[in-house]
Amino acid sequence: MEPILITGTGVVSAIGLNKAETLEALLSGKSGVGQLRYLKTEHKEFPVGEVKLTDAEMRERLGIPQDAVTTRTALMGMLALGEALEEAQLTKDMLSKVGFISGTTVGGMDMSEQFYLDYIHNEAHKEYIKVHDCGSCSEMTANHFGKFAFTTTLSTACSSAANAIILGANMIRCGEADIVVVGGSECITKFHLNGFNSLMILDTEPCRPFDATRHGLNLGEGAAYIVLESAESAKRRGVTAQALLSGYGNACDAFHQTASSPDGEGAYRAMSEALQLAGLQPSDIDYINAHGTGTPNNDASESQAMIRLFGENVPPVSSTKPFTGHTTSASGSIEAVFCILALQNGFLPVNLNWSQAMEDGILPVSQPTKKELKHVLCNAFGFGGNDSSLLISKVPELVEGPTKNDGASTGSATCYILSAKQISLQQPLTEAWMQEPIEYDVPFTRSIDPSFKEYVSPIEARRMGKILKRALATSKEALKEAGLDTVDAIITGTGYGCIENTEFFLDALSNDGEQMLKPTYFMQSTHNTISSLVAIQTKNHGYNVTYAHKSISFDSALQDAWWQFKLGKINTALVGGHDEMTETFYHILKKGGVMGHDDEMCGESAVSIVISHKPLHQVVEPVETPLQNESALRQAHGPQILCKLTGFQMLHQPTTDTMQDSLARMLQNAGKSLADVDYILTGISGDHGNDEAYLKETKLLFGGKPLLKYKHLFGESFTSSGIGLYVAAQCLKAGRVPAALFVDPKEVNDKQPKCILLYNRTDGKNVSLTLLEA
């Protein structure tokens, strides 16, 4: 790939509130890990790497009123983002063309864990309910600086920020943006401090990665953002690069929910892929910033992966976690900034606290060392084996800079939906359903579940929440129907993730205190449990990520696949949208104004779709017309194909003008005009205030097109846009639209649909357009 420029960076962690402080600490070997001071917890025995500011002090620095609703994750994010934007000389008025992609898992849990009992029992602090989720934290961070063109959230546990960087790079490479700000933020919470404690992987001493006596990790917190920019844009703006992103890899270890495989398969694949993409050899790597958490398991597994890849010539390695603690979701971008500082200043960050070689392990950098560096790898691994590696390079001297186009952006992303399976309030769309769908009128209804025994053995199922069983069942069914054993990528969206187990853990934490908590609840509470479980169960080592960004979580997952099709990086993808609900959380979210408005029927949904870009038996060829593509694919899959996906676009807070432009461009790219579109499938949900504006906007954009709806039957969930896609695909396949789907009964007709446009719009803030053709 052509390297992408890094034109700005900002970082906040236990060793500094900005880059200058961070560099000084890294050079002088000064750790920020110490006795717990800011978090209110009874676990004072664990050293932590806290950011040395209270929330109030952060608000003051940022000029935010003290009574404003904020979360610590968002506040730290703002501190780091401010520095990155300033360095890249990005001002408020320029943000409308800039993307923002953030990684977090904790989101607003710092507030939810304090006010959980209030949320349930009274009205106090209910204004914090709407900032519980990951997506809200990202939007809060972004909105402090202005209006970004696009925003989404990756949640792959401790590799979240690294995967945000990877998505940003894909976005630039396929020509979707010139500038994307990427990274992550995560504060320490009682929730995950106790969670890691229940897994018995916290050390009561300062952590010692790669040491024979290592005994676990120290938690840390912080945020870092990186401005990725195309060479053309940087040249145009007259900004210089600090470093280059020259490669990256994402792979799934597909081994265990909380442990890494003995041979480090996922880590090995992620690092290999990064090298391959950069066109470099292992011998070109001058330094590796290891994930190196200090747990016996991680360091043994990561050592094996490095030894497998580099043989006897493992480059200098260090873990910087003894400086900062494990900053979990933010670690990928925080440590990427450390790598950039090392490249710019020519030094190897020291692996503090190391003294004794571990068996079969690597020997880390034990002394501060000056060294000119050209290429470095930065690893970030997450629970479930979501392993990522970034390859960052020094800006070459006397080179005019890479300006030629990647060539990757020219591909078409048009792809084929091979299968789609769902679990929701409705039974699968059979012929009978098409005539008479099941009607519900209760405000909160649970999904109709199949017997899961067919898909999961009882010994495996006993630890799975319903969201996991549904994800697994729909994924396995969809793969089976598509006739595939495996796919190149498993991409999942979930607005609120594993609510059931989050609730169990919060209940125990709030009612029984911080002792003897069940590890099962914690390991099942992270969003990426869903995607990684599907990978473990289908033994899939391919690309694997999870999005958690409100009602556009599924759309974000689809967009990721769409961009990778465009880049030719993948050929097949399993894209899922999964959300569950509990009685307690439903009442909390209703109280917080998040869902359950007016006649809105809230349900749950699980949808898995298998998409193929090119015919499976055909080798990817450089020149190929869509028509040949399609006929070959139809030949290979015969009647299986549900429909074609020929256009996809996501927007954040668009004006009517931007919407119209995007729509026109999307239709043009698909070789269509608005006249070819038969129906508009809307996501109106029974929330009157929103529906009214939604329908008005829809009519303005699409004139007199017949409008369809589906949430009155399937219910509203954070990922119900995936159900929308399922419904439209089934209609195109069946060649008719059930009468129950028409917004206006007067418009019911028998016309065979050839082209349906899905228009999702959440509170006017996030919009997605999906074009499907028969």
* Interacting residue ranges for other proteins, rule: CB under 8 A: 198-200, 256-259, 458-459, 462-463, 515-520, 523
Judged by beta carbon, residue 266 or residue 542, the one nearer other proteins is 266
> Residue 467's closest CA among 184, 167, 718?
718
**Can you list the alpha helix ranges (DSSP code H) found in 88-159?**
109-121, 134-143
CA distance 97 to 160: 23
Strands (E), 118-178: 150-154
Judged by beta carbon, residue 516 or residue 627, the one nearer other proteins is 516
CA distance 224 to 516: 33
572-579 and 489-493 strand pairing: parallel
Instruction: Write the secondary structure of 407-472 as one string of H (helix), E (strand) and C (coil).
Output: CHHHCCCCEEEEEEEEECCCCCCCHHHHHCCCCCCCCECCCCCCCHHHCCCHHHHCCCCHHHHHHH
Shortest spacing between CB 400 and other proteins, in angstroms: 54
Judged by beta carbon, residue 297 or residue 662, the one nearer other proteins is 297
CB 423 within 8 A of CB 605: yes
Judged by beta carbon, residue 464 or residue 740, the one nearer other proteins is 464
E strand or H helix at 296: helix 296-310
Shortest spacing between CB 459 and other proteins, in angstroms: 6
- In a 3-state reduction of DSSP, which class is residue 102? strand
Strands (E), 31-149: 48-49, 98-103
CA distance 252 to 541: 4
Judged by beta carbon, residue 202 or residue 684, the one nearer other proteins is 202
CA distance 634 to 645: 14
Residue 347: strand pairing partners: 370
Shortest spacing between CB 314 and other proteins, in angstroms: 27
Judged by beta carbon, residue 190 or residue 644, the one nearer other proteins is 190
Shortest spacing between CB 763 and other proteins, in angstroms: 39
CA distance 735 to 558: 24
Judged by beta carbon, residue 198 or residue 386, the one nearer other proteins is 198
Shortest spacing between CB 234 and other proteins, in angstroms: 47
Return the DSSP state at 130.
G
Shortest spacing between CB 204 and other proteins, in angstroms: 9
Shortest spacing between CB 580 and other proteins, in angstroms: 17
CB 635 within 8 A of CB 616: no
Question: To which residue do tokens 């003897």 refer?
Answer: 516
Shortest spacing between CB 194 and other proteins, in angstroms: 12
Shortest spacing between CB 516 and other proteins, in angstroms: 5
Shortest spacing between CB 201 and other proteins, in angstroms: 9
Judged by beta carbon, residue 258 or residue 649, the one nearer other proteins is 258
Judged by beta carbon, residue 138 or residue 218, the one nearer other proteins is 218
Long-range own/partner contacts, residues 744-747 (CB < 8 A, 24 or more apart): 744/706, 744/707, 747/706, 747/707
Judged by beta carbon, residue 95 or residue 517, the one nearer other proteins is 517
Tokens of 276: 């391959």
